[in-house]
């Protein structure tokens, strides 16, 4: 098609999709659509320009053209939502797909194809809608704490070797013999430190995944979960601040 424009984008963010934001996404798409539905047989129900493909955490899925059907789900247990794709029918222009899913990879994406001006404007509106679902802890949600700890350990090891190399060149170390017992103890300390860091990182990742999910469809029973997470994040924030203030106060008192 002459003048056809296609734009595809994907994002690695943390999102919270409430009922209001989901309706906003649907209305955004509908407002920019130009529809030309096929002729229907007498007595047929009216065709909807938008379809919802819903994936559940236990592997189930279904498609519907009613947003109310999606919002009517309990959104818990076997019916907990893992992904939603909002897509337009073949007879609507521009052809549009907007997808949200719970994933550690790129978890929000869209694709728009159609007339240059209309498709470009639709893409711009979708990006605005996506930005409203993004939450402040996106970087935290997608961070791998084990990896960060290993990088920090590598940097410290490199600094230690650099300092040791400088001292060796100056002749200040290297003349003192090391016994097998001392070597074994040193190796035990190194391996124990690495193992402790890995274990701590794994536990921290699990806590992070619970407190800062990469995606949350916050309607149905998951709305209560959202409120619980906000409460525990507040508790964590207050605890960190109190610990910091207490540490400073203790240091000042005993100086």
**Per-residue b or e along 188-223, where b marks 16 or more CB atoms closer than 10 Å to that residue's CB:** eeeeeeeeebeeebeeeeeebeeebbbbbbbbbebe
Output the pLDDT for position 86: 97
Output the pLDDT for position 174: 52
Q: How confident is the model at residue 186 (pLDDT cuts 50, 70, 90)?
A: confident
Same domain assignment for residues 12 and 91: yes
In a domain, 127, yes or no: yes
Choose the weakest-confidence range: 27-31, 44-48, 200-204: 44-48
In a domain, 243, yes or no: yes
Output the pLDDT for position 253: 83
Domain count of the fold of the chain: 3
Average pLDDT, the chain: 88
Q: Pairing state of beta strands 108-115 and 61-64?
A: unpaired
Domain finish residue from 109, 137, 165: 137
Same domain assignment for residues 128 and 54: yes
109: left (phi over 0), alpha (psi -120 to 50) or beta: beta
In a domain, 218, yes or no: no
Rounded distance between C-alpha atoms, residue 109 and residue 127, angstroms: 10
Q: How confident is the model at residue 166 (pLDDT cuts 50, 70, 90)?
A: confident
Same domain assignment for residues 121 and 149: no
Same domain assignment for residues 110 and 233: no
Q: How confident is the model at residue 66 (pLDDT cuts 50, 70, 90)?
A: very high
Rounded distance between C-alpha atoms, residue 42 and residue 58, angstroms: 40
Q: Report whether 197 contacts 150 (CB < 8 A).
A: yes
Same domain assignment for residues 232 and 194: no
* Residue numbers of the domain that contains 195: 143-211
Q: Report whether 87 contacts 108 (CB < 8 A).
A: no
Same domain assignment for residues 157 and 128: no
Same domain assignment for residues 60 and 129: yes
Output the pLDDT for position 180: 79
CA–centroid distance for 212 within its chain: 8
In a domain, 23, yes or no: yes
Choose the weakest-confidence range: 100-104, 133-137, 151-155: 151-155
Same domain assignment for residues 88 and 59: yes
């Amino acid at each position: 098609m002459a003048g056809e424009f296609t734009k595809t984008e994907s994002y690695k963010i943390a999102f919270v999709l409430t009922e209001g934001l989901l309706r906003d996404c649907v209305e955004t798409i509908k407002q920019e659509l130009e529809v030309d539905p096929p002729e229907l047989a007498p007595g047929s129900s009216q065709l909807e320009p938008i379809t919802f493909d819903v994936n559940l955490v236990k592997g189930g899925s279904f498609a519907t053209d009613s947003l109310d059907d999606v919002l009517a789900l309990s959104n818990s247990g076997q019916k907990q939502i893992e992904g939603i794709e909002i897509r337009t029918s073949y007879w609507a222009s521009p052809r549009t797909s907007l997808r949200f899913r719970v994933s550690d990879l790129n978890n929000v994406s869209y694709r728009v194809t159609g007339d240059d001006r209309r498709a470009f404007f639709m893409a711009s509106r979708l990006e605005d809608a996506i930005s409203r679902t993004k939450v402040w802890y996106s970087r935290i949600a997608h961070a791998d704490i084990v990896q960060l700890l290993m990088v920090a350990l590598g940097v410290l090891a490199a600094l230690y070797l650099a300092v040791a190399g400088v001292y060796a060149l100056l002749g200040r170390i290297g003349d003192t013999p090391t016994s097998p017992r001392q070597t074994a103890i040193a190796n035990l300390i190194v391996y124990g430190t690495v193992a402790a860091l890995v274990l701590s990182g794994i536990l921290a990742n699990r806590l992070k995944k619970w407190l800062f999910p990469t995606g949350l469809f916050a309607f149905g029973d998951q709305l209560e979960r959202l409120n619980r997470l906000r409460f525990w994040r507040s508790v964590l924030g207050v605890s960190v601040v109190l610990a910091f203030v207490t540490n400073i106060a203790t240091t000042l008192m005993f100086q």
